[in-house]
Structure 1
Amino acid sequence: MKKIYYLSTCSTCTEIMKEANISEQTGFKLQDIRTQPITSTQLDEMKKLAGSFESLFSRRALKYKELGLKDKALTEQDYKNYILEHDTFLKRPVVILGDKIFIGSEKKNVAALKDALK
């Protein structure tokens, strides 16, 4: 499976997609998480590849500070619920290539994604 979870309004996501040549034409299934929200089943599949919901959770989200989450001890179930509740909590983009997952926009992650696509 070749799939990407992203936000079409996020310039970082679109830039990574352009750099890595990710599109429907290259065999990817694209899911804009704003217009087609992530399901619990999809999130469970991502967790299986990533190892935890926490690794999929973005602490950069504005709502993270707004809701005072940095002062709380969150559980795996909390991370899952927040990601399902609002797309801003998913670290983006999330790219799945078979049994590999690439999460977020860190340079080393984008470089590993590009290598895997070669």
Structure 2
Amino acid sequence: MAVTIYHNPRCSKSRQTLALLQEQGEDPKIVEYLKDTPDAATLEDFLKKLDMEPRELMRRKEAPYKELGLDDPGLSREALIAAMVEHPVLIERPIVVKGKKVALGRPPENVLEIL
């Protein structure tokens, strides 16, 4: 079964996760999500499979988080997901997908659970 990693080559955790996948004999499809951003439906699917709320999959220290007021508790799930689509730098990384399973590679060893 194919493995996909939503990857940022500038991120050390993302690079470590990619290396771990390769050490496990995987040849993952690499999606540089800053260039090829997942759509809202894909992010919603990831959130459901990760059993997370949108803010849990957001990089809250990134400038757009504060600039857009994304800490506002009144914002809907849809608004938060839309912000991640519009500003993919907000998406926590790396996300690894294998079949119907999804893992967040923070720490990288988390992905071993879905292989």
Are the counterparts in 1 of residues 6 and 96 from structure 2 also a CA contact under 8 Å?
Answer: yes
Aligned AA (2:112):
K
Q: Give the secondary-structure state (helix, strand or coil) at the position aligned to 1:95.
A: strand
Aligned partner of 2:30 in structure 1 is 30
- Tell me how far apart the structure 1 counterparts of residues 101 and 5 of structure 2 sit (CA, whole Å): 12
Normalised to the residue count of structure 2, the TM-score between the two structures is: 0.76
Aligned partner of 1:44 in structure 2 is 44
Evaluate the alpha carbon distance shift between residue 46 and residue 15 of structure 1 in structure 2; reply closer, same or farther with a 3 A threshold: same
RMSD value over aligned CA atoms? 2.6
Once the 2 structures are TM-superposed, how far is the Cα of residue 98 of structure 1 from its aligned partner? 1.8
Evaluate the alpha carbon distance shift between residue 69 and residue 41 of structure 1 in structure 2; reply closer, same or farther with a 3 A threshold: closer
Aligned AA (2:20):
E
Aligned partner of 1:114 in structure 2 is 112
Evaluate the alpha carbon distance shift between residue 18 and residue 102 of structure 1 in structure 2; reply closer, same or farther with a 3 A threshold: same
Normalised to the residue count of structure 1, the TM-score between the two structures is: 0.74
Please list the CA deviations of residues 11-34 of structure 1 after superposition, one character each: whole Å capped at 9, or x if unmatched.
Answer: 321122113327xx8232210012
Are the counterparts in 1 of residues 95 and 102 from structure 2 also a CA contact under 8 Å?
Answer: yes
Please list the CA deviations of residues 43-73 of structure 1 after superposition, one character each: whole Å capped at 9, or x if unmatched.
Answer: 2332342345514223232321233332x11
Once the 2 structures are TM-superposed, how far is the Cα of residue 99 of structure 1 from its aligned partner? 2.1
How many residues of Structure 1 are paired with residues of Structure 2 in the alignment? 112
Structure 1 residues not aligned, in runs of 5+: none
- Tell me how far apart the structure 1 counterparts of residues 113 and 49 of structure 2 sit (CA, whole Å): 18
Q: How do residues 1-118 of structure 1 correspond to structure 2 at under 5 angstroms?
A: 1-21=2-22, 26-54=26-54, 55-70=56-71, 72-73=72-73, 74-105=75-106, 107=107, 110-117=108-115
Structure 2 residues not aligned, in runs of 5+: none
